[in-house]
């Protein structure tokens, strides 16, 4: 990108949260992404849920995560459990789990509302066949969160490619419980079902 001011922006939102003004960028006719409402709703929800600690909403289109939306059930439970199983650090990095929005037209109010509802309980929301939203206190933590989810998705894609989905061994529910105790995290029981 040789001219970031063409497609990037710093925007200020008014006190009522109803209007914005571009403080920098979007020159030469640029406009905010059609997903701007999703970003703003997620900011509002995460600010309230984290007592103002979460200041970053990051959206991207990671290929392996998107690929999994074609083969895994589009449920929070399926995505969380499968991705937790791929790397021991995953339940430590995203202990509350992952929310999944079924396919919807991006850029509109409906998908923004659906995503913000998931963000009340998760720091990660996956849009089926499209991408992912992550929330965090700063950009490094938020980027690291998305990177960890995508790395786990890449491992799962490789496992599926090698085995057709069958795993010889994996992390079991009681092993997740022991991990949670040792690392001081709370893992919701709804993700620790027997397979």
Tens of pLDDT, residue by residue over 11-35, are 888 888 788 899 999 988 888 888 8
| CA dihedral sign, ordered 148, 149, 154, 158 | positive
Tens of pLDDT, residue by residue over 52-64, are 899 999 999 999 9
Tens of pLDDT, residue by residue over 112-147, are 999 999 999 999 999 999 999 999 999 999 999 999
Active-site positions read 35
List of long-range contacts for 169-176, beta carbons under 8 Å, 24+ apart: 170/85, 171/84, 171/85, 171/88, 176/84, 176/91
Tens of pLDDT, residue by residue over 141-195, are 999 999 999 999 999 999 999 998 889 999 999 999 999 999 999 999 999 999 8
CA 184/CA 173 separation, integer angstroms: 16
Residue 1 clears pLDDT 60, i.e. is over it:
no
CA 73/CA 195 separation, integer angstroms: 14
Task: Quote the crossing angle between the two packed helices 76-86 and 139-163, to the nearest 10°.
Answer: 90
- pLDDT band at residue 39 using 50, 70 and 90 as cut-offs: confident
- pLDDT band at residue 4 using 50, 70 and 90 as cut-offs: confident
Q: What pLDDT score was predicted for residue 28?
A: 86
Is the CB of residue 26 less than 8 Å from the CB of residue 9? yes
């Amino acid at each position: 990108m040789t001219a970031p001011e063409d497609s990037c922006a710093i925007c200020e939102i008014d006190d009522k949260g109803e209007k914005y003004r571009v403080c920098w960028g979007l020159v030469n006719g640029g406009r905010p992404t059609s997903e701007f409402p999703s970003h703003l709703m997620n900011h509002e929800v995460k600010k309230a849920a984290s007592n103002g600690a979460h200041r970053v909403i990051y959206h991207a289109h990671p290929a392996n995560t998107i690929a999994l939306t074609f083969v895994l059930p589009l449920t929070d439970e399926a995505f969380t459990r499968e991705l937790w199983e791929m790397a021991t650090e995953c339940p430590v990095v995203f202990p509350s789990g992952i929310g999944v929005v079924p396919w919807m037209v991006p850029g509109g109010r409906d998908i923004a509302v659906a995503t913000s509802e998931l963000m009340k309980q998760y720091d990660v929301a996956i849009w089926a066949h499209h991408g992912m939203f992550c929330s965090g206190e700063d950009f490094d933590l938020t980027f690291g969160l998305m990177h960890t989810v995508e790395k786990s998705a890449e491992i799962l894609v490789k496992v599926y490619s090698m085995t057709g989905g069958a795993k010889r061994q994996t992390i079991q529910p009681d092993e997740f419980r022991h991990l949670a105790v040792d690392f001081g995290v709370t893992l919701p029981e709804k993700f620790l079902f027997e397979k």
